[in-house]
């Protein structure tokens, strides 16, 4: 009976979904969480950015790059709340950090830091791929694109994302790499 309930809660391949959820839990529980994210985007949107991310007592994103051909450099530094932590970490795990980097480049804050990110953004239809998982990104329950996320087998942290996001004016192709400081 329990196995049937677990299977019913899975969206696609249960093992792939469990690997993804384990990765999310690990990142959400890490204090402090520190990493560098390199984003490259082409297609309907063009951007390149390098972002230092730190989530601890304060949430800090220091990002610089280009967005639609215009250089930018932005710093975000706010006390960490559970809602802000979720918005940064779940935003990164489910759709990539790029969305919030673009928000910052345009002078805005972190999207859904009001506590609504879990209802707004989800991952579904999981499947295993060599070195990680693939899934559909859902925004407000609607298919927004497809992601392949490579996850380090030892650390259970993300390594690289490739993603296609659908917009009315065409697709955006995203590649992000995640670098974590060496654990001593």
- Its sign, for the CA torsion 33, 118, 151, 9, is positive
Considering the domain boundaries, does residue 184 fall inside one? no
Is residue 9 very low, low, confident or very high in pLDDT (cuts 50, 70, 90)? confident
Considering the domain boundaries, does residue 146 fall inside one? yes
Distance CA 180, CA 54 (A): 11
Q: Write out pLDDT tens, residues 118-175.
A: 999 999 999 999 999 999 999 999 999 999 999 999 999 999 999 999 999 999 999 9
CA nearest to 15, candidates 148, 181, 128, 129: 128
Considering the domain boundaries, does residue 138 fall inside one? yes
Q: By residue range, what is the domain housing residue 114?
A: 2-179
Give the chain's domain count: 1
CATH code for position 83: 2.50.20
Considering the domain boundaries, does residue 105 fall inside one? yes
pTM: predicted TM-score of the whole model, two decimal places: 0.92
- Its sign, for the CA torsion 36, 173, 71, 91, is negative
Considering the domain boundaries, does residue 100 fall inside one? yes
């Amino acid at each position: 009976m329990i196995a049937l309930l677990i299977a019913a809660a899975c969206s696609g391949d249960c093992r792939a979904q469990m690997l993804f959820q384990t990765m999310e839990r690990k990142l959400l529980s890490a204090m402090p969480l520190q990493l560098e994210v390199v984003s490259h985007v082409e297609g309907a949107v063009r951007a390149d950015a390098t972002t230092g991310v730190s989530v601890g007592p304060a949430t800090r994103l220091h990002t610089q790059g280009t967005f639609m051909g215009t250089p930018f450099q932005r710093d975000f530094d706010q006390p960490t709340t559970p809602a802000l932590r979720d918005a940064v970490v779940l935003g990164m795990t489910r759709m990539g950090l790029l969305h919030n980097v673009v928000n910052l480049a345009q002078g805005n804050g972190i999207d859904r830091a009001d506590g609504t990110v879990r209802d707004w953004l989800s991952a579904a239809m999981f499947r295993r791929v060599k070195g990680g998982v693939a899934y559909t990104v859902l925004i407000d329950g609607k298919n927004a694109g497809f992601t392949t996320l490579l996850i380090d087998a030892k650390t259970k942290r993300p390594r690289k994302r490739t993603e296609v996001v659908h917009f009315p004016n065409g697709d955006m192709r995203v590649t992000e790499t995640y670098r974590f400081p060496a654990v001593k």
